[in-house]
Structure 1
Amino acid sequence: MKDQLSTEKFVDPQITATGEPRAHVALRNVQTLWFNTGTLCNIECENCYILSSPTNDALVYLTAEDVTTYLDQLEDRNWGAQEIGFTGGEPFMNPHMIDMTRCALERGYDVLILTNAMQPMMRKRVQAGLLDLHATYGDKLTLRISVDHWDKGLHDKERGAGSFQRTLDGMNWLRDHNIHMTVAGRTVWGETDPQARQGYAKLYAAHGFAIDADNPAATVLFPEMDETVDVPEITTACWGILNKSPDDVMCASSRMVVKHKGAASPSVIACTLLPYSPEFDLGTTLEQAERDVHLNHPHCAKFCVLGGASCSA
């Protein structure tokens, strides 16, 4: 058996390179249904896991009709999700963003939008839409702002010169209109967790942002997802060794809807981090997406199992 196995990692969905059974995760206790609004973005980051840019339309725009279709399925399947998440690309590049958000809010879901809070969000039409949604639904709507580092220089190194100030301008607008926001940062900078949170706390205090730097749900610090770094494969034995449960991994509690360029319809992906990996495409319906997910990718190990990270709120 071992002689037939590839010596490379993350090849066989069922078996690791050392011949051990690969860990898998069942869908349980669903918390979040994600929608990728499209990979187009107003900027191109140095290390974007989804390769978003002003020209990458590998994932095309979803519409309010698409969202409604899957919200109907969500209720039919009785998943019990509490939250609808929107990610991109930059979600506010999508002309249907306000309508898609309203579709979810009017059904009673909490909505989380991941955004860089830059020019696409600051367009007058979008601002008017956000103000209307906030007036109607209040803190059921949360915008998670990408602030890769609390220091302007390091943030701009990742996102381009001037991006830190443009993001702060958007956050200032959200603050002035009492729209609930949280922050997502990165841990690539070599700081300890307390050092990073202290830096974010100073940034929030300087601008009057009502964001808790010490709350991991309000200031989410993501591990870097570098596919060139060697990471261990997760076997079924790892759950006991690491004292972790498969129920703690993101694909146990969420799925993501995407639409690939040229596809006839959207499809459901196991993980927000892996929209381009065919084996994590689970089908076109939520029913098809209820099957187990084998952790056959470096992100599964570094980001989710070992990093303990989750994109949900």
Structure 2
Amino acid sequence: MKDLANLGKFQDPDVTAKGEARAKVALSKPETLWFNTGTLCNIACTNCYIESSPTNDALVYMTANEVSDYLDQLEARKWNVREIAFTGGEPFMNPDFLDMLGRSLVRGYDVLVLTNAMAPMMRPAIKAGLIELVETYGAKLTLRISLDHHAAHIHDTERGVGTFEKTVRGINWLSSIGARLAVAGRIEMAESEAEARNGYAALFAAHGWDIDAHNPGATVLFPEMDTRVEVPEITTACWGILNKHPEAVMCSSSRMVVKRKGAETPAVLACTLLPYDPQFELGTTLAEAERDVSLNHPHCAKFCVLGGASCSA
């Protein structure tokens, strides 16, 4: 059901509510293939876009063999991506996750992991595996830790009391083993992006973390994805009006593989942000996923085109 703020909009994949041609994006330059390792998470955040929690298994655990199958497809289709990225849920809850990382890294890909760096990552067997991967592959492996705000009380409002301290503990450990670090946060409504980056810079310096708060690839600050806010539909004319190009939008360079509960095989989605909208499911193979994507969702407008954000490094 569409939210009342955008009533009548985002209905037709080809035409906007005003009858204008809706913008579409081709997979013009594949750079990142994402895998969602499952929606189960050790915490339940207030505004989790994918509704991850300790009980949500709408997207079930993917296996290392399933990941390998898509890595084989990448080579067969000659996508020439540079990066394999993993998100969840919390990836380190998946029992095959270290194997997935090893299989991706041994093929020469850069690997990005989105994690909260809390208890699932801090289990002894996981820590031992990460130490080995960092020693073997170094900067080819990046861990991007979710730290919603540089102030503990604001972060904890989103993720739960005490989570900031636990995440800081995880980052400190990752820093101690020489892991390549990045941070993902949110821009608090009451502060500007410059103020947010300065706040993160002070936090990083206080802990001695080698993370550049002013580099958007190292400290990724996302806008809030609130579908209750009215946003304009993106038409083909918008590219010229906004002085933007379709290649700047995330679905021009990435796809995400998920495994739905009850499904026999994984599916390929157009976007990491829209795991439950059937219109963004492109098929079960990378060949099927090479088709154009209609920007037919409020997130397409606010997050990607107008916000200019991207999940990739």
TM-score by length of 1: 0.97
Q: Residue in 1 aligned with 2:278?
A: 278
Q: Residue in 1 aligned with 2:121?
A: 121
CA distance in 2, matches of 1:125, 1:266: 27
Deviation at 1:188, TM superposition (A): 3.4
Amino acid in the other structure paired with 1:80: N
CA distance in 1, matches of 2:177, 2:168: 14
CA distance in 1, matches of 2:182, 2:61: 24
CA distance in 1, matches of 2:118, 2:74: 31
Mark the CA change 1:20 to 1:174 in structure 2 (over 3 Å): closer, same or farther.
same
What does the per-residue CA deviation read over 1:57-105, in whole Å, with 9 as the maximum and x for residues that have no partner? 0000011101000000000000010000000001011111100011100
CA distance in 2, matches of 1:168, 1:11: 43
Superposition pairs of residues 89-238 of structure 1, within 5 angstroms: 89-238=89-238
Deviation at 1:174, TM superposition (A): 0.4
Amino acid in the other structure paired with 2:258: V
Tell me if the contact between 1:7 and 1:18 (Cα under 8 Å) persists in the aligned partners. Answer: no
Q: Residue in 2 aligned with 1:268?
A: 268
Tell me if the contact between 2:254 and 2:271 (Cα under 8 Å) persists in the aligned partners. Answer: yes
Identity of aligned residues (%): 67
Deviation at 1:193, TM superposition (A): 1.1
> Could you say what secondary structure the match of 2:282 adopts?
coil
Q: Residue in 2 aligned with 1:298?
A: 298
Deviation at 1:189, TM superposition (A): 3.0
Amino acid in the other structure paired with 1:35: F
1:69 aligns with 2:69: yes
Amino acid in the other structure paired with 1:261: K
What does the per-residue CA deviation read over 1:141-163, in whole Å, with 9 as the maximum and x for residues that have no partner? 00000000000000000000000
Contiguous gaps of at least 5 residues in structure 1: 1-5
> Could you say what secondary structure the match of 2:184 adopts?
strand
Deviation at 1:7, TM superposition (A): 6.8
What does the per-residue CA deviation read over 1:27-52, in whole Å, with 9 as the maximum and x for residues that have no partner? 01111000000000000001000000
RMSD of equivalent CA atoms: 0.9
CA distance in 2, matches of 1:188, 1:43: 21
CA distance in 1, matches of 2:132, 2:66: 22
Amino acid in the other structure paired with 2:146: S
Amino acid in the other structure paired with 2:214: D
Contiguous gaps of at least 5 residues in structure 2: 1-5
Amino acid in the other structure paired with 2:242: L
CA distance in 2, matches of 1:149, 1:7: 32
Amino acid in the other structure paired with 2:84: I
Deviation at 1:190, TM superposition (A): 2.3
> Could you say what secondary structure the match of 2:255 adopts?
strand
What does the per-residue CA deviation read over 1:210-266, in whole Å, with 9 as the maximum and x for residues that have no partner? 000110100000011011111110000000000000010000000000000001100
TM-score by length of 2: 0.97
> Could you say what secondary structure the match of 1:195 adopts?
helix
CA distance in 2, matches of 1:20, 1:218: 38
CA distance in 1, matches of 2:30, 2:275: 19
Mark the CA change 1:7 to 1:47 in structure 2 (over 3 Å): closer, same or farther.
closer
Q: Residue in 2 aligned with 1:80?
A: 80
CA distance in 1, matches of 2:300, 2:89: 21
CA distance in 2, matches of 1:189, 1:156: 16
Q: Residue in 1 aligned with 2:259?
A: 259
CA distance in 2, matches of 1:228, 1:9: 13
Tell me if the contact between 2:149 and 2:188 (Cα under 8 Å) persists in the aligned partners. Answer: no
Tell me if the contact between 2:188 and 2:196 (Cα under 8 Å) persists in the aligned partners. Answer: no
CA distance in 2, matches of 1:237, 1:187: 29
What does the per-residue CA deviation read over 1:174-210, in whole Å, with 9 as the maximum and x for residues that have no partner? 0111111100000133211110011000100110000
Tell me if the contact between 2:269 and 2:282 (Cα under 8 Å) persists in the aligned partners. Answer: yes
